Amino acid sequence: MVRGKDEVVERALVGVLAEGHLLVEDIPGVGKTTLASALARALGGTFRRIQCTSDLLPADLLGVNVLDPRTGEFRFRPGPLFAHVVLADELNRCSPRTQSALLEAMAERAVTVDGETRPLPRPFVVMATQNPFDLHGTFPLPDSQLDRFLLRLSMGYPAREAERSILRSGGLAEARLEAVLTPEEVVELATGARGVRIHEEVEDYLLALVERTRHDDRLLRGVSTRGAESLLRSARALALVRDRDYVVPEDLQELALAVWAHRVLVRSDDGSNDAAARALGEILWEVPAPA
């Protein structure tokens, strides 16, 4: 299980119910794989881990048609993408061609091999990781591909007592959890999240934030329409997780940085994620929220 990271776990669940994908940027050894494995087990789904390397090919992800010597016919051997939760570890270490194949599958929720399209399981969640410090031999994701991730998260170091508990229980072992849902129930909940209500005043607040990012001097590029829609989907899922059938302004405020920080471009920054988070945090402070 994942100890001391309730907020990260909640946001991962938000990503699942909003039918999005997660980008987790952090140093090795803080529980990213444990989080992905625990999520898959709790949702009653299958889990696959892909270690991204420079020689990884698209077929290694999607699958291939192989000749069956007994029948003389080709049969499809599915790749690791045919799982409910897929961990793409160190995504920026694989080539742009392989990155594109993965991101296309994320967008289409299907793969095409030898002209035949095959749907991926539902739910289908990709949790990709990047090491933000060790950049040797990497292929950074272009902004247009970063935009395909609904949320960008960071695990961070655990608190002292949480780390003590981890050490006493044997470290970051593979998650051992009982399923609390079935994949079919997860799909049903995701459908319900789309029906969560948003009042017109809260919707106006969302649009005001989006408009402000597009005309703020601190930003060279503001939030796109997809970014606005992504925040709305995430806020609806967060409301459902917290047992509400309506969105409140605090839902938008809590998720804005995770949804938008990787989508905006900050003027005169050092390329760090902190610069975008600071600029968006100031905008959230300046734009008045409805009572």
CATH number of the domain to which 277 belongs: 1.10.8.80
Please list the helix, strand and coil fractions of the chain in percent, rounded to the nearest 5, in that order: 45, 15, 40
| pTM of this structure | 0.90
Q: Which of 123, 155, 185 is the last residue of a domain?
A: 185
Please give the tally of structural domains in the chain: 2
Most confident of 58-72, 198-212, 260-274: 198-212
179 band by pLDDT with thresholds 50, 70 and 90: confident
What residue numbers bound the domain in which 223 lies? 196-286
Residue 218 pLDDT > 60, yes or no? Answer: yes
Residue 54 shares a structural domain with residue 170: yes
**For 53-64, how does the pLDDT look when each residue is reduced to its tens digit (9 = 90+)?**
989 999 999 999
pLDDT of 69: 83
Give the chain's mean pLDDT: 89
- The CATH number of whichever domain residue 72 belongs to comes to 3.40.50.300
Residue 133 shares a structural domain with residue 101: yes
Which residues are CB-contacts of 10 (< 8 A; sequence separation ≥ 6)? 238, 241
Q: Which of 158, 185, 212 is the last residue of a domain?
A: 185
Which is more confident, 111 or 273?
111
Instruction: Report residue 85 CA to chain centroid gap.
Output: 11
Is there a domain that residue 190 lies in? no
pLDDT of 155: 86
